[in-house]
């Protein structure tokens, strides 16, 4: 089940990171970027790679939060649903 949840997080985040990468770098030239007033000393490919992984990590965090919020309290606390579930009256 853990592997399945990881894929629910990583795969959509990977696809969205690719889309964000295309949108951002369709409008921004990596050679024109500056960091604290200094030009980046990286090649275009390095900027593309670093940006992709930053976008991927951010979208993975979003997907992980969504997955966490979709879990029941019993799943979060690692309890079985049937045995430990309180009876509602």
| 12-25 exposure pattern, b = at least 16 Cβ within 10 A, e = fewer | ebbebbeebbeeee
The pLDDT tens digits along the chain (89 residues) read: 788 888 989 999 999 999 999 999 999 999 888 889 998 889 999 999 999 999 999 999 999 998 888 888 777 777 655 555 566 66
DSSP, residue by residue, 23-65: HHHHH--GGG-EETTEE--S-HHHHHHHHHHHHHHHHHHHHHH
How confident is the model at residue 27, as a pLDDT?
Answer: 95
What are the sequence ranges of the domains in the chain?
9-71
């Amino acid at each position: 089940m853990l592997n399945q949840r990881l894929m629910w997080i990583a795969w959509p985040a990977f696809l969205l990171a690719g889309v964000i990468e295309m949108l951002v770098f369709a409008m921004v030239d990596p050679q024109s970027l500056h960091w604290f007033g200094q030009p980046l000393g990286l090649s275009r490919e390095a900027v593309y790679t670093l940006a992709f992984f930053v976008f991927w990590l951010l979208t993975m965090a979003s997907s992980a939060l969504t997955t966490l919020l979709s879990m029941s309290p019993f799943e979060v606390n690692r309890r079985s649903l049937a045995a430990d579930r309180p009876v509602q009256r």
